[in-house]
Amino acid sequence: MQLHSSNKLAEAFEKKKMNIRKQSDSVASLSFDETTTLVDLDNISAVLSEFTGKPKKDLKSVSLERLPIVDGKSRGVDYLKQSVFNSIHSESQMLRYLANLQAKDLSLNKSMITLGSCTMKLNASSEMLPLTWPEMNIHPFAPQNQALGYNEMITRLGEWLQSVTKFDAISFQPNSGAAGEYTGLLTINQYLRSKGESNRKICLIPKTAHGTNPASAYIAGMKVVPVEVIDGRIDIADLKKNAEKYKKDLGAIMITFPSTAGIYEETVH
């Protein structure tokens, strides 16, 4: 929406415990999803009415059952008609459905499969429960003054990790294994640059590596040199050969524990 002052509108919404996104000094935007209710719309309408001085819209006749017809046209094809989309009505049913799907898959508790450590992480239901608390339900773009508790929690965790690892700093920005790889490589690049060794762009990666490993190295501006493997394990002789061959330009070696084959590299220390 085009405004004279998006800051003033944001302040009006904030007084009603709602946030909008300020695109510029005169433009603001709102987003809606499946959790939006008529009460939410009514509150938004009230704020806009108070801010603009125009009469408040009557939302009592609005129906959320189907999409509105615009210019005489409505959706002509039905979607999500399969039974799976309308036969599950509780969390327990959903969990059972997902468990049944899981049982059809080949997994680490049944066999050796080619999956790396990222896939071996598990978030239990009890760990995910806090995400349902209203106090934890904050928008990523919420103003900093509304996220003081989050900042304190993250800062404390960072201090604990620094104490345990003895690192100078901890970053919570990477939210996946691939993002962590990329962040680590960028850190290595910056460290080498600070030492005047920007030429060190070679990254040794075992052939059993997950696909994100060479992808991360490439995006970070490095050149990937593959390392041979024997029966799923790194060929130490080939690793030493490549390390010696590229010693003047070697910047990093990427090894995943456990490897994508689910193996811990006992010969690498």
Question: Between these two residues, 123 and 138, which has the higher pLDDT value?
Answer: 138
Compute the average pLDDT of residues 50-59: 81
Count of beta carbons in the 10 Å neighbourhood of residue 37 = 9
Mean pLDDT lowest for which of 23-37, 80-94, 226-240?
23-37
Instruction: Name which of 60-69, 76-85, 147-156, 248-257 the model is least confident about.
Output: 60-69
Mean pLDDT score of the chain, rounded to an integer?
84
**Neighbour-count burial for 57-76, b at 16+ CB within 10 Å, e otherwise:** eeeeeeeeeeeeeeeeeeee
Please, which residues have CB within 8 angstroms of residue 246's CB and are 6 or more apart in sequence?
202, 204, 225
Question: What mean pLDDT comes out for the span 5-21?
Answer: 88
User: CB 226: neighbour CB atoms within 10 A?
Assistant: 14
User: Between these two residues, 249 and 176, which has the higher pLDDT value?
Assistant: 249
Question: Which domains does the chain show, CATH number per domain?
Answer: 6-52 (no CATH), 112-141+173-269 (3.40.640.10)
Task: Report the DSSP pairing between strands 250-253 and 202-206.
Answer: parallel
Top-confidence residue, 257 or 91: 91
Strand partners, 234: 229
Residue 63: predicted pLDDT: 63
Q: Report, as an integer, the average pLDDT of 233-256.
A: 92
Per-residue model confidence (pLDDT) at position 112: 61
- Which of 163, 157, 117 is CA-nearest to residue 260? 117
- Mean pLDDT over 212-227 rounds to 93
pTM value surpassing 0.75: no
Non-local CB neighbours of 220 within 8 Å, separated by 6+ positions: 182, 185, 186, 189
Whether residue 4 has pLDDT greater than 70: no
Find which of 20-24, 36-40, 73-77, 117-121 is predicted with most confidence, using mean pLDDT: 20-24
Distance CA 255, CA 240 (A): 14
Give pLDDT, residue 199: 94
- For residue 104, is pLDDT > 90? no
- pLDDT score recorded for residue 74: 66
Is the predicted pLDDT of residue 264 greater than 90, yes or no? no
For residue 233, what pLDDT is reported? 85
